[in-house]
Amino acid sequence: MGDFGADVIKIDDPARPYDISGSLDVNRGKRSILLDLKSDRGREVFWKLVETADVVVENHRNGAFDRLGLGYEDVKKRRPDIVYASLNAFGYDGPWSQRAGWEQLAQATSGIQVRRGGRDGTPTLLPYALNDYGTGLLGAYAVALALHEKNRTGQGQSVDSGLALTAGLLQSPYFLDYEGFQRDEPEGFDVRGHSALSRLYPTSSGWMYLHCNDERSWNGLTALREFASLASDSRFATAEGRKDSDAELTAGLNGIFPSKSTQEWVDLLASKNVSAIENLAPADFRDDSHVREAGLVVTRDHPGRGSADHVGVAPRLSKTPVRLGVPAPLLGADTREILQETGYSAAEIKSLMSAGVVATAPR
């Protein structure tokens, strides 16, 4: 939301460890204040910030902010129109809401690690924070909906979600169940695709993904002389036959694709309206000139870190231009500025710092 103009103030504990790589990634477009919310004076600063806020976001297990006197009901008494978002690992209903949790635990409890392990039943960690980022996006979506409702009715409300709930949503096809329904689960991290005609294949220069998902695409593929042997094979004459002979068709294609480079195949298949694309490493995608021209990856100068690449803004609005916010600040870099804007004098700020209530850098 900061990329579209919101003034986002990130509150961190002055005693928290500083993960600079994580901060560079998720704190862009935000301002940073280090504030001890467990102290009485720290909570006084919090309440002053709430006076001019539209939204409060917290990410603790159920009840943690209530015990500090900073929960939704507490904030609502002072600001009835506030939108208050709570994001944690296991949501805010039921006994699991009291559990601490992280990305890895949300994966473990939701079936992701079993699914990624494949048919041998050995669970495997998904090596990227799918649920962390997904929950942040769902939280922003919920906040936007609540703000829309507030603009319509003048009323605030609380919204919440959790990593495990996100994990369920992102696996929604695998939660589908009814009498007679069967799903053939791909084989974990060893999987190359879902069928012979939708899978990864090695070429002479690397790998590509072929997606030949209908009769028209199949006819285009077999119109090329390189695939004449498949076109004349009666086992592959119909969609049902290709499904029944999937392993044989996979073997046939595996014998053909290494004869040319990925780009040669991509161009050749495109001439027959068959979809195929080069398989890239993240760094290849990041450095692609077309990706950068589209603004999906941008380079910024970050305080204390120099030039750094990060993902740009994915959604585009025709009448609301993207406003790339400031690069991710060093933790606490905006503490003085935020306190001054909130009405604190220089002497009061000095007193707060001397008492360890606020800081301009992690302790």
Domains of the chain: 2-172+295-359 (3.40.50.10540), 192-279 (3.30.1540.10)
Confidence (pLDDT) at 128: 86
* Percent helix, percent strand, percent coil in the chain, to nearest 5: 45, 15, 40
Mind listing the pLDDT tens digit for each residue in 242-280? 999 999 999 999 999 999 999 999 999 999 999 999 999
Confidence (pLDDT) at 184: 65
The type of residue at 62 is: N
* Beta bridge pairs of residue 32: 10
Confidence (pLDDT) at 189: 65
Mind listing the pLDDT tens digit for each residue in 50-70? 999 999 999 998 999 999 999
| CA 59 remoteness from chain centre | 16
Confidence (pLDDT) at 68: 96
Helix (H) or strand (E) segment spanning residue 351 = helix 346-354
Confidence (pLDDT) at 185: 66
Average pLDDT of the segment spanning 212-239 = 96
Confidence (pLDDT) at 303: 85
Under a CB-based contact definition with an 8 Å cutoff, are residues 81 and 155 in contact?
Answer: yes
Q: Left if phi > 0, otherwise alpha if psi is -120 to 50, otherwise beta: which for 90?
A: alpha
pLDDT for 225 beyond 70: yes
Confidence (pLDDT) at 20: 66
Under a CB-based contact definition with an 8 Å cutoff, are residues 211 and 159 in contact?
Answer: no
This prediction's pTM: 0.86
Q: How far is CA 242 from CA 12, 213, 246, 248, in A?
A: 57, 11, 6, 9
Percentage with pLDDT > 70 across the chain: 96
* Beta bridge pairs of residue 284: none
Mind listing the pLDDT tens digit for each residue in 136-160? 999 999 999 999 999 999 999 999 9
How far is residue 342's CA from residue 120's CA, in Å, rounded to a whole number? 58
